[in-house]
Amino acid sequence: MLEEGEEEATTEEEGDLATNKKVEEITIKSHKQEEQEEEGLTTLLEVVVHK
């Protein structure tokens, strides 16, 4: 049910929401990848320092 003053989302708005969700998913994936790369570099650095 719609609240007072709300309108049903148009197809365009729904498309925007879907696009935004995909962008968010991609952003989350890239952040996770960055974190993994940072962890990899830290590990590499620790290995070099220990030798």
Residue 44: the pLDDT is 79
Q: Can you list the residues of the chain whose pLDDT is less than 50?
A: none
Q: How crowded is the C-beta side of 37, counted as CA atoms within 13 Å?
A: 6
Residue 8: the pLDDT is 65
The residue with tokens 């148009």 is 10
Residue 4: the pLDDT is 73
* Mean pLDDT score across all residues of the chain: 79
d(CA 3, CA 22): 27
Residue 1: the pLDDT is 55
Q: pTM for this one? A: 0.41
